[in-house]
Amino acid sequence: MASRTPSPTAARAARNPAPDRAGAAAGERPRRRLSVDERREQLIAVALELFSVRPPEEVSIDDIAAAAGASRPLVYHYFPGKQAIYEESLRRAGRELAGRFEEPPEGPLSERLYRVMGRYLDFVQSHGPGFAALLRGGSVAASAGTSAVIDEVRRAAHDQILSHLAIPSPSPGLRLTVRAWIANAEITSLEWLAERSVPLEELQLHLVQEFVAALTLTAAREPALAAELAAFFADERPDGPTGRLVRDLAGLFAVPGITEAVTALATAPSPSSDGPSPQATD
């Protein structure tokens, strides 16, 4: 079960630095206010908090030491360098994010996804600059290690969604739909972080509705999915994301011209070619 609130570890650790600067600076083991494991965890938590609010190139070992109330040599006692702390704190963040995708398989699917997206967007909001730096790539700290963390989180999201769809052998097309929608969620979150032009709740609703649309399009191409789609719609509720989408689309199709044009396309005599007309229009 996912925790529904962000883990307070990082914040707690940053507020309660252990005062062992002197001992560490002299090259000794840190005073036993924190055990070795605890100290390591504290450094990771402090680093994660710093990397969440600033891109990695703007966080130094000195910043991490200062936020942890530790000395530079102490930090180097635990980690060979900044990259190692960065990657370790990223792995923790990735694990926490992946945990937020977990959702009991109960209730209409779009409402489950809506709850998951709420937790995902909370994470995006609270780890904004670090999340952006990580996904935008091109950071000096990008590496095969950071890439592996991103891939791991994407795979967790993909697997969770497929498990909720409960389709025994998902087709390559359906898997691709899920992966493309995850990319959509990432890019949409990044844009939102940069501009914050709409309330987060709107984004949450739109992302879920885009998933419903993508699923419908996939079923339109793959007749084997039609029965699953029928079961999906039958389970949805009028006041959920799908119900609201259906009514928005119904409103759009009531606009003069749209239904007529679409009906003309739907009822045209079946064309003989099996591809779009190839002739150039220029």
Complex with its own copies: residue 146 or 160, whichever CB lies closer: 146
Question: Which range of residues in 6-14, 31-39, 158-166, 210-218 is near its own copies by CB under 8 A?
Answer: 210-218
- Judged by CB under 8 A, does residue 269 bind its own copies? yes
Within 87-106, the residues that bind its own copies by CB under 8 A are 104, 106
Find the binder of its own copies among 52, 89, 146, 160 (CB under 8 A): 146
Within 41-80, the residues that bind its own copies by CB under 8 A are none
DSSP for 242-274?
HHHHHHHHHHHHTSTTHHHHHHHHHHSPPPS-S
Question: Which range of residues in 29-37, 63-71, 92-100, 254-262 is near its own copies by CB under 8 A?
Answer: 254-262
- Judged by CB under 8 A, does residue 233 bind its own copies? yes
Find the binder of its own copies among 116, 124, 205, 215 (CB under 8 A): 205
Find the binder of its own copies among 53, 84, 167, 198 (CB under 8 A): 198
- Judged by CB under 8 A, does residue 224 bind its own copies? no
- Judged by CB under 8 A, does residue 167 bind its own copies? no
CA 208 to chain centre: 13
Backbone angles phi, psi at 147, to 5 degrees: -60, -40
User: How far is 136 from 131, CA to CA, in rounded Å?
Assistant: 8
